[in-house]
Structures are given as C-alpha cells and as structure tokens.
Amino acid sequence: MAWAMVIWGILRTAIGFYVASIEGEEQRIFAAKRYLGSSSSREAIDNGVIMIAAGVVIGLLVTIAKNEDSH
C-alpha cells in the first residue's frame, strides 16, 4: 500500500507540473479540473507531495513494526 501511495503521489505531482506549464489561464484551469479533479495545478502538486510523504512514513512504520515482531 505504501508503494502505491508513493507512485500515485509521483504521478499526481508530475501531471500537476505538466498542467502548470500549459499556456493560457483558461486552458490550465480546464486541464486541472479535467485531468486532476482539482481547482488548480498547485493544489494537485501539494496533494501529490503529501501522498509521497505519507507513503514513505507508512512504509517506514510497517518496516519498524515488522522488525519489532521478529525480536
């Protein structure tokens, strides 16, 4: 699950940066709503970074829990 969160976060962040690079404010807003489900690419990038961080934290916690169980 942690890997899925990290991958999803990377994809969302990358698409957010792509949408942010589109010329024209109206086209950028349309693309963000259509492809990201967000009101802006900035919101999608923020959510993507949070997903990456959450995935890393969950992965570390699972690794720690597995090491504690083996003792």
Q: What is the pLDDT of residues 14-51, one digit of tens each?
A: 999 999 999 999 999 899 999 888 888 999 999 999 99
Query: What separation in angstroms does the CA of 23 have from each of 17, 52, 57, 71?
Result: 12, 27, 36, 57
Residue type, 71: H
Provide the pLDDT for residue 38.
86
Q: What is the pTM of this model?
A: 0.84
Q: Is the pLDDT of residue 71 over 90?
A: no
